[in-house]
Amino acid sequence: MASLAIVNYQNTNKMNLEDNAKRDGFSSKFGILCAAAGSAIGLGNIWRFPYVVGDNGGGAFLLVYLGFILLLGIPVMMSEFVIGRRGQKNAYGSFKKLSKGKFWPWIGIMGILAAFTILAFYSTIAGWTLEYVYLALTNSFKGLGSEEIGAIFETFHTSDFMPLLWQVVFMIMTAWIIIAGVKKGIEKYTKILMPFLFLLLLIILIRSLTLPDASKGLEFLFKPDFSKLTTKSFLEALGQAFFSLSIGMGTLITYGSYVDKKNNLGRISFEVSVADTLIAIMAGIAIFPAVFSFGMNPAEGPGLIFNVLPNIFQQMTGGYIFALMFFVLLTIAALTSSISILEVVVAYMVEELNLPRRRSTIIAALAATIVGVFCTLSFGALKNVEIFNKTIFDSLDFTASNILLPLGGLFIVVFTGWFLGLKNVKDELTNGGIIKVRLFIVFVFIIRFIAPVAIVIVFLNSIGVI
């Protein structure tokens, strides 16, 4: 029976290869890991994760977050990879190929819409990182106090020209990589950018640990104080675990379709989750010792990156170099995520609309940039324009993060657990019986029962029902 299953899997693999003879894909496991980790590791790890930890009391929140990554994040990520590699198509095409009804392909469309929406407002924040690379390079923080540094950010992000300029530059960088393709673009550049990101973060982390009273920051991050945990903390940890891994927006389905049939999807999911979590923790180690060393507030919120850290860098020895490295690091994290998001839209246009990759990339990037312009101006000229009592930026952020992503993640695990067929799921995870998948029954139980309930809770919390 096992040998028959292997033969069937090999035959299926052969047919997929013939159907996708001209289709691009990853050439190595290291390339897969760098690309998938780059998708997961973004501003959410280095910008959002530290201040969320700070808002929720530190170490206890970190433990809860790690538990959710292990229990739910990895199985849901595996589900997306299974759909992508089994379907060998984009997010829409994979659902269409693997399902019999007309409903499921619309879940792929939801993921593509989520990716487009996220790219539009994500490019706004990414543009800010480029401005801060420029400010760090020109040593513009030298001699300034905290109020003056705060004024720099306030003046910049509420102005009209410079944020738009940097947003366009960032989108050009993203599109340039995507035009080159999967192997020569995404894989090539993430194999360079991800190790460089890790090295920069490691250097900043080591420097942070040498500061006076750095131990207070480590104690805050790693010493659990469960009295500070609230229901809100659990919900935020669960939401951060899901959103940090890029679940529900079609990126992992799209990247999964480029993964060779010989690779172990379970192992890749685990290693990507470990890399994503490691970078988030390293960012915390790099930031909190410095925050405590200079007597800053760890619960500063989003301003932790753009207001507090520049103030810290200009006070420390070698601060010029470390400020420059940090904001270059932040830009790289934004870029590796944005290329995965844009690829979701481009893959759909190439495979379903039969458009050339270059033209698809230009159209998708230009459209996202145009929508992104309104997001960027919602901090300045369009700040009084509201949609359902939210700015344009906040409206798109809320729609994607609180509605499209949770619903997308929910339907993905329901499809994998109940509609794809457990034989097909196991066949894909075991590479046709060639490799063993431990705890398969546990995996099935989680995606059938635990993950849907958890995602519904996140969804209801995000829209304010609970």
Q: Do residues 90 and 344 touch, judged by C-beta distance below 8 A?
A: yes
Q: Report CA dihedral (191, 284, 119, 97) to the nearest 10 degrees.
A: 60
Q: What is the pLDDT of residue 7?
A: 47
Instruction: Say if residue 218's pLDDT is above 90.
Output: yes
Phi/psi at 390 (nearest 5 deg)? -130, 150
Q: Do residues 440 and 269 touch, judged by C-beta distance below 8 A?
A: no
Q: What is the pLDDT of residue 304?
A: 76
* CA–CA dist 280, 73 (Å, integer): 15
Output 225-233 pairs: Cβ under 8 A, ≥24 positions apart. 225/57, 225/58, 225/59, 225/60, 226/60, 228/56, 228/57, 228/58, 228/60, 228/61, 229/56, 229/57, 229/60, 229/61, 229/64, 230/56, 232/56, 233/56, 233/57, 233/60, 233/61, 233/64
Could you report the per-residue pLDDT of 408-420, keeping only the tens digit for each?
Answer: 999 999 999 999 9
Q: Do residues 416 and 82 touch, judged by C-beta distance below 8 A?
A: yes
Span 440-451, average pLDDT: 96
Mean pLDDT (the chain, rounded): 91
Instruction: Say if residue 339's pLDDT is above 90.
Output: yes
Q: What is the pLDDT of residue 22?
A: 63
Instruction: Say if residue 390's pLDDT is above 80.
Output: yes
Span 408-437, average pLDDT: 95
Could you report the per-residue pLDDT of 7-31, keeping only the tens digit for each?
Answer: 455 555 554 544 555 689 999 999 9
Span 31-52, average pLDDT: 87
Q: What is the pLDDT of residue 276?
A: 92
Percent residues over pLDDT 90 in the chain: 71
Q: What is the pLDDT of residue 207?
A: 93
Least confident span in 108-122, 236-250, 308-322, 334-348: 236-250
In the chain, the domains with their CATH numbers are 2-462 (1.20.1740)
Report which of 119, 117, 114 is spatially closest to residue 411, judged by C-alpha positions: 114
Could you report the per-residue pLDDT of 161-207, keeping only the tens digit for each?
Answer: 999 999 999 999 999 999 999 999 999 999 999 999 999 999 999 99
Instruction: Say if residue 2's pLDDT is above 50.
Output: no
Which single residue is written with the structure tokens 């893959």?
Answer: 347
Per-residue pLDDT band at 308 (split at 50, 70, 90): confident
Instruction: Say if residue 40's pLDDT is above 60.
Output: yes
Per-residue pLDDT band at 316 (split at 50, 70, 90): confident
Per-residue pLDDT band at 241 (split at 50, 70, 90): confident
Instruction: Say if residue 58's pLDDT is above 90.
Output: no
Q: What is the pLDDT of residue 6?
A: 47
Could you report the per-residue pLDDT of 85-99, keeping only the tens digit for each?
Answer: 999 999 999 999 999
Q: Output the DSSP codes for 141-165.
A: TTT--HHHHHHHHHHHHTSSHHHHH
Instruction: Say if residue 271's pLDDT is above 90.
Output: yes
Per-residue pLDDT band at 4 (split at 50, 70, 90): very low
Q: Do residues 365 and 175 touch, judged by C-beta distance below 8 A?
A: yes
Span 40-49, average pLDDT: 83
Per-residue pLDDT band at 5 (split at 50, 70, 90): very low
* CA–CA dist 406, 458 (Å, integer): 7
Q: What is the pLDDT of residue 164?
A: 98
